[in-house]
Amino acid sequence: MISKRFLSIILAMLLLMASSLPCAQVNAQKQTDNRRYTFSNVKAQHIISADVKLLGDGDGYHAKLVLVTPTSGFSFGIQFDKGASAPYTGRAMLIAENIHSNDEGGQVYDRPGNIEVHLGKTYNLMLSLDSHGNINTYFNGRIIGTYHNSKLAGKKVRPRVEGSAKHNGDVVDVDFSHIRIKDDPIDEVYAFWPYEIDTAKRINSKIINNTHVRIYGKLTDLKEGEDWDSAYEAVSGIVQFNFE
């Protein structure tokens, strides 16, 4: 039979171990936001939301939701890249790009939540922007990233969906369904009309209806040595939503 003294010693040791947990672990638990967010309950000036399924083949391909002006913007989506730095090499990760300007070095990349996803599986992604330039990214109803871009504060932005490939021969196939868009105060789905502004000749955008877009094809027209970083203007299928 285990003595009471022995049980007391074990209990004291467990309490000591619990009290010595690193502060970072404790703080992470306190900062967890367990609320569920939907298009309807997020308060922001601009919102774009969609169910996103990404497939592809080759070195790299991605699917993104975008809020953009001619000189700045923000994108959030899923990216697969065999050339990504370790430990993200050859993994499908959530990725965000904060575009402060179109100049070299004006873009800041992040992997919000450090979340890896499965190719061919559908996930709900949402991106919101308020009038002060505060940005949130959402994954399946949870906030996973918070950012700021003063260049977007109070600006008129264009919502887009985008599918891209990295190198010649790479294939992208992305399905954006249940697309919803808000440009305060407008959030009626049929108040927005989509149109194609594809930049790659063989990556095509198919507008099924106002809430459903497919972007697919093979990248073929880059020059030797070019990729989606050096020739961004030539690697994408894009559908933009207007509301005038």
Looking at residue 191, what is its pLDDT? Answer: 80
> Residues, the chain, total?
244
Looking at residue 30, what is its pLDDT? Answer: 33
CATH topology of domain 46-242: Jelly Rolls (2.60.120)
Looking at residue 244, what is its pLDDT? Answer: 61
Spans of the chain below 70 pLDDT: 1-33, 244
Looking at residue 84, what is its pLDDT? Answer: 95
- pLDDT tens profile 8-66: 444 444 333 333 333 222 222 233 567 899 999 999 999 999 999 999 999 999 999 99
- Residue extents of the structural domains in the chain: 46-242
